[in-house]
Chains A and B, each alone.
Chain A
Amino acid sequence: DAGVTQSPTHLIKTRGQQVTLRCSPKSGHDTVSWYQQALGQGPQFIFQYYEEEERQRGNFPDRFSGHQFPNYSSELNVNALLLGDSALYLCASSLPGESTEAFFGQGTRLTVV
């Protein structure tokens, strides 16, 4: 079992560009959550996908969008990148339900210059 895999591991983009980050959940998991972790801070919830729909969303602007595919993998898209979007983006997969264990990927380190 490969666990949760994210790609790419590192990425450098220019202000104003668009970026797509990818996440493959742990085998058997159908729920994917995305988090943004700025340097020195705790992760902030972006949104969660279940059954190919956004089930819950945190306090992030519409520039942040996502998608979940039938195989449960997910993408996080960020448009019109700002310097402040530089962060570690974490993906977590779980089974549906409020109290199921989340498994995390290694994250994608995005640097916006």
Chain B
Amino acid sequence: KNEVEQSPQNLTAQEGEFITINCSYSVGISALHWLQQHPGGGIVSLFMLSSGKKKHGRLIATINIQEKHSSLHITASHPRDSAVYICAVSDSNYQLIWGAGTKLIIKP
């Protein structure tokens, strides 16, 4: 079993829909990261969480430490949101442990 599990693996939605991507982890963490990777490879850090909830524009990230679960929400989704969204956790060995990613496609 992977230490970081994401769901769904693939998600296709219509423009304007509310999007939720889930991440569960099984290891002790110091922080959880949500990252966005566009075709071509560049990775952008969206959020780093250790508790609670963060919001940036149309993006919201939450984390429940007790349940070892985090969600990334996108409100009023747009085709430019199409990308791979990756959940990664920081462990005590300074590494990022990566989920497999969720490929999101938003259709106009």
A101-B48 CB under 8 A given contacts A42-B101, A56-B94: yes
Stretch at the interface among A14-22, A60-68, A74-82, A104-112: A104-112
Inter-chain contacts of B48 with A (CB < 8 A): 99-101
Interface residues of A, Cβ cutoff 8 Å to B: 31, 33, 35, 37, 41-45, 48, 55-56, 58, 88, 90, 92, 98-107, 109
Assign chain B's interface to a size class: 20 to 34
B43 touches A90 (CB 8 A): yes
Choose among A98, A103, A107 the residue that contacts B90 (Cβ–Cβ < 8 A): A98
B96 touches A104 (CB 8 A): no
B31 touches A107 (CB 8 A): no
Choose among B30, B45, B99 the residue that contacts A42 (Cβ–Cβ < 8 A): B99
Beyond the given pairs A41-B100, A42-B98, A104-B44, 4 more chain A to chain B contacts, judged by CB atoms under 8 angstroms and listed by A's residue number, are A99-B90, A104-B42, A105-B42, A106-B41
Q: Which residue of B lies closest to A107 (CB)?
A: B41
A42-B100 CB under 8 A given contacts A99-B50, A102-B33: yes
State the Cβ distance, B55 to closest chain A Cβ, in Å: 16
A88 touches B41 (CB 8 A): yes
B43 touches A104 (CB 8 A): yes
B66 contacts A by Cβ under 8 Å: no
Task: Provide a sorted-by-A list of 8 A–B residue pairs whose CB atoms are within 8 angstroms.
Answer: A43-B96, A45-B95, A56-B95, A88-B41, A98-B31, A99-B48, A100-B31, A100-B48
